[in-house]
Structure 1
Amino acid sequence: MSKISRRSALGAGVAAATALGATVSAAQAGADPAGKPGKPSGEAHPHLFHLSATTPSNYDGGNLRGANEQNFPVLAGQDGSVYLVHLDPGGIREPHWHPTAWELNYIISGRAEWSILGTHPDGSYLNDVFTANRGDLVFAPQGFFHYFANPSTTEGLDVLVMFNTSVAEPNDDIGVVGTLNSIPREVLAASFGVPVSAFAAVPKDIKPVVITKRR
């Protein structure tokens, strides 16, 4: 099978995201848009995947569903995967970066606060902070540190995320919690210019990127 053009795939993905906006309620309920039981593996049709019918990964501040080479085999070797991310009111996608992939985000519903940090040609660091609304696209370049959050106290946020990698999403994420906990406390203290005790309350787990929420 020949490789699918990334540019063509992205164009098709954005168009599909617009249609997907009408199915968000069904997605949260775990049913496909027609109300039929989903078959995430595309059992009868290898090119069809019922994203809204997949079992979500649930977190404290929301959930996500994804299509990658592990559960949608046709994506193997095609440098493409897609995730539907839902953030509850106050939900936050843990700050992280992807060492080997960029991501393109389409806001299906709600409002998202974004922060993207990366090096630039002039040698400076630019922390790009902005708000994205329904129908907007947000691009996070490969290796750039980023996160998005739902600032609303009453409305949910739904984002379709497209990657130029076929691997499962946690396999290409490095989160801020895992990063801090991979560094000795005395090194962190020296880097921040604070006492070691300042990090006493920081959990020591090194774990995949999660969805959390404001406390």
Structure 2
Amino acid sequence: NFVSLSTALLLLNKFLYFCASLFRLNQNKKLFLTNTFLLNSTMSAYGKLVVIMAVVMLAISLDKACAGDPDMLQDVCVADLANSLPVNGYLCKKNFSEIDFSSMAIAKAGATNNTFGSVVTGANVMKVPGLNTLGVSMARIDYAPGGINPPHTHPRATEMIFVLEGELDVGFITTSNVLITKHIVKGEVFAFPRGLVHFQQNNGDVPAAVVAGFNSQLPGTQSIATTLFASSPTVPDSVLTKTFQVGTKEIQKIKSRLAPKK
């Protein structure tokens, strides 16, 4: 015998209502114990099975919600970058070729003559349309001597880097404010957990370079400094002065240095 869907939902609803009642009456210990006894003695085997199934289904749904990009539903879905229809990802284009799955975007070193002495060159779905729905992308990061890839996060992906040349001091900060840091050399890899603030710095006298891999077709990057001091519209000075415990002049000075070049 199998419980019908309507019966299963009714039993689950009654169980949840009963739990809510217990919560409201938890100050009455005697009544709480009595209801607990009644629950164990009157709930049918089918009812318990429904509850177990509901918990399992919830666990499965949470696991899917915490995954990276959504699973693909066909062999390929080459991104139609010309289509402006807003969807989570990109629509599939009808005609595609091998060109959509390859790129020379990260073949050469990028120019590092900028404020931070580093440059990130992406090989994501915007450069390789065939990555759409595949849940992967790459990037190349080049560092001048003394250059830094300043503290930032990737809200949609975990990152792993492989050192091509040079040496780096890298690290990330946990949500408990613990710094995990290491000096890495050519041939070494290092992983940065999804969403955590992290950085890389070249403290050597020669250029350095890494290749980064992500478990998202478009991991996104949010720089801590530019997010706070160079957003549009700007974050109010009152928020930043209170946050960093400094005066308005200091905040304005930082904003002027990080403001986008016109």
Instruction: With the length of structure 1 as denominator, give the TM-score of the two structures.
Output: 0.65
Q: How far did 1:56 drift?
A: 4.3
Say whether 1:161 aligns with 2:212. yes
In 1, distance between residues paired with 2:223 and 2:106? Answer: 26
Matches within 5 A, 1:19-98: 46-53=100-107, 56=110, 59-60=113-114, 61-98=117-154
Give the whole-Å Cα distance in 1 for the aligned partners of 2:211 and 2:109: 16
Q: Distance in 2 between matches of 1:57 and 1:165?
A: 25
Seen in structure 2, the aligned counterparts of structure 1 residues 99 and 57 have a Cα distance that, compared at 3 Å, is farther
Structure with greater strand percent: 1
- Whole-Å separation in 1 of the counterparts to 2:125 and 2:177: 34
Q: Distance in 2 between matches of 1:85 and 1:54?
A: 10
Find the aligned partners of 1:79 and 1:206 in 2 and give their Cα distance.
33
The whole-number CA distance in structure 1 between the counterparts of 2:259 and 2:226 is 4
Query: Does 2:164 align with 1:108?
Result: yes
CA shift, 1:115, in A, is: 2.4
Q: Does the CA contact (< 8 Å) of 1:177 and 1:206 recur in 2?
A: no
Task: Mark the runs of 5 or more structure 2 residues left unpaired by the alignment.
Answer: 1-73, 77-96
- Structure 1 residue corresponding to 2:241, chosen from 172, 189, 192: 189
Instruction: Identify the range of structure 1 (196-205 vs 137-146) with the bigger mean alpha-carbon deviation.
Output: 196-205
Q: Amino acid of the residue matched to residue 174 of structure 1?
A: Q
Are the equivalent residues in 1 in contact too, given 2:146–2:204 (CA < 8 A)?
Answer: yes
Question: In the TM superposition, what are the counterparts of 1:106-145 in structure 2 within 5 Å?
Answer: 106-119=162-175, 124-145=176-197
SS class of match (1:201): helix
Over aligned residues, Cα RMSD in angstroms? 2.7
User: For the structure 1 residues 59 and 72, does the alpha-carbon distance in structure 2 shift closer, same or farther, using more than 3 Å as the test?
Assistant: farther
- Residues 54 and 65, structure 1, Cα contact 8 Å, conserved in 2: no
Residue deviations 1:183-205 (CA, integer Å, cap 9, x gap): 32222211222222222311255
What secondary structure is seen at the aligned counterpart in 1 of 2:198?
strand
- 1:48 CA drift (Å): 3.7
Distance 1:46 1:176, change over 3 A: closer
Secondary structure of the structure 2 residue equivalent to 1:198: helix
SS of equivalent residue, structure 1 residue 86: strand
SS at match of 2:127: coil
CA distance in 1, matches of 2:158, 2:169: 19
Q: 1:57 to 1:173 in 2, by over 3 A?
A: farther
Q: Which residue of 1 aligns with 2:201?
A: 149
User: Cα deviations across residues 154-174 of structure 1 (Å, max 9, x unaligned)?
Assistant: x1111001111112x6xx111
Contact 1:58/1:64 (<8 A) preserved? no
SS at structure 2 position matched to 1:95: strand
Identity of aligned residues (%): 22
The letter of the residue matching 2:240 is: L
Deviations 1:115-151 (A, max 9, x none): 21121xxxx3211122111111111111100110110
1:54 deviation in Å?
6.5
Which deviates more from structure 2 when the two are superposed, residues 46-55 or residues 63-72? 46-55
Measure how far apart 1:63 and its partner are.
Answer: 3.2
Residue equivalent to 1:176: 224
* SS of equivalent to 2:122: strand
- The alignment of Structure 1 onto Structure 2 pairs a total of residues equal to 161
Distance 1:114 1:53, change over 3 A: closer
Q: Name whichever structure is richer in helix by fraction.
A: 2
Q: Secondary structure at the match of 1:70?
A: coil
Which 5+ residue runs of structure 1 have no aligned equivalent? 4-42, 208-215
